[in-house]
Amino acid sequence: MNLQIDYLRTFTALADAKNFTKTGKQVNLSQSAVSMQIKRLENEVGKKLFDRVGKTVRLTAEGSILIKYAQRILKEHDEAVAALSKPNLEGSIRFGSPEHYTSGMLPKLLANFSNSYPEVTIEMRCENSDVIKAAVDVGELDVGICTQISEGGQVIAHDPVVWAANPEFVLQKHKTLALATFEEDCIFRSWALEGLEKAGIEYKIVYVSRSISGLLDSVKAGFAIAPIIGSNVPPDLKILGIEDGLPILPVSNVVLHKSKTNPSEIIDCFSKHLIKAFREKTGS
């Protein structure tokens, strides 16, 4: 019996996503290629690993046994590869991002990258997306993450904008909605106000901040609800939707921009880390 690493990686991804299409996006394979790899793995072990339930799949009893070993095998494999692939990059990266992400997933990502490439220094800059894009265009930044600004960049993930609220919040139809938002130049604010106006919901902006932490604090206190990206909603808050009487907000595009004036192996490596982290976080 020969358990190929690629097949095991696809197997664990499908066990997590429970859907062939989503799995294909995660492992960069077509739906048919995912099906083929799973079929070959089932032939190799001589057992059925998944049962189909509508458009989803679930592990069989044999699949549940294999998943534990597959996860351990992949962990050991990846650690071995990392240990043998000694970091040889050195230099610096000038990186920019809106605060939506600098207060969320980026700190852990930057820490992991620094651990893997200790000789690379990352200079972080936090600005609005339009400022980040302009800085990348003129070579002041090497890499930038922007929201919605996709011209010349690569869309690497999709992150829905949602209504975040205190768990005890209940929308009252005849009461003006208290709203916390970013400043006027934020597209999330524009989307929120347009959505509320189209839905005929009266609102009052009671808190304005340039900081995501400020918005979250106001929401946690029950002072207001706020439109923020889904990946920034902490577990102690709830997400409101159409079933609560609120309009559905657009999905935000996360766009990667790289400087064309300063291409380097460091920038390419860092960009790959960004893409992988964002896609894993948002399920894109």
Q: What is the CATH number of the domain that holds 23?
A: 1.10.10.10
Question: Do 113 and 70 share a structural domain?
Answer: no
Based on the structure, what is the number of domains in the chain? 2
Q: What is the pLDDT of residue 87?
A: 58
Q: Which of 45, 64, 84 lies at the terminal end of a domain, its last residue?
A: 84
My answer on whether 135 and 263 are in the same domain is yes
Residue 239 has what pLDDT? 94
Nearest to 122 by CA among 107, 132, 135: 107
Residues 108 and 62 in one domain: no
Q: What are phi and psi of 49, to 5 degrees?
A: -100, -20
Are 258 and 142 in contact, with CB atoms under 8 Å apart? yes
Look at residue 98 and give its three-state secondary structure: coil
**Helices 61-84 and 5-17, interaxial angle, to 10°?**
120
Q: Are residues 106 and 71 in the same domain?
A: no
Characterize the bridge pairing of strands 120-126 and 238-240: unpaired
Residues 107 and 234 placed together within one structural domain of the fold: yes
Q: Are residues 140 and 160 in the same domain?
A: yes
Give the predicted TM-score (pTM) of the model: 0.63
**Domain end (from 53, 84, 115):** 84
- pLDDT attached to residue 146: 92
CATH code for position 267: 3.40.190.290
pLDDT (tens place) for every residue of the chain, 284 residues total: 788 999 999 999 999 999 998 898 888 889 899 999 999 999 999 999 999 888 899 999 999 999 999 999 998 988 787 767 655 678 899 999 988 887 777 888 888 888 888 888 999 998 889 999 999 999 999 999 998 888 889 999 898 999 999 998 888 878 899 999 988 888 899 999 999 999 999 999 999 988 888 889 999 999 899 999 888 888 899 999 998 889 999 999 999 999 888 778 889 889 998 998 888 877 66
3-state secondary structure of 67: helix
Residue 77 sits in the same domain as residue 105: no
Q: Dihedral angle at the C-alpha atoms of 96, 98, 103, 106, nearest 10 degrees?
A: -40
Give dist(CA 67, CA 64) in Å, integer: 5
pLDDT at 162: 94
| Range(s) of the domain holding residue 54 | 5-84
Question: ∠ CA(188), CA(275), CA(103), 5° rounding?
Answer: 45
H helices of 85-127, in order, are: 99-102, 106-116
User: Do 128 and 253 have their domain in common?
Assistant: yes
Q: According to the model, what pLDDT value does residue 86 have?
A: 55
Q: Are residues 141 and 40 in the same domain?
A: no
Residues 26 and 123 in one domain: no
Residues 54, 195 within the same domain: no
149 and 280 in a common domain: yes
Of 66, 84, 102, at which residue does a domain stop?
84
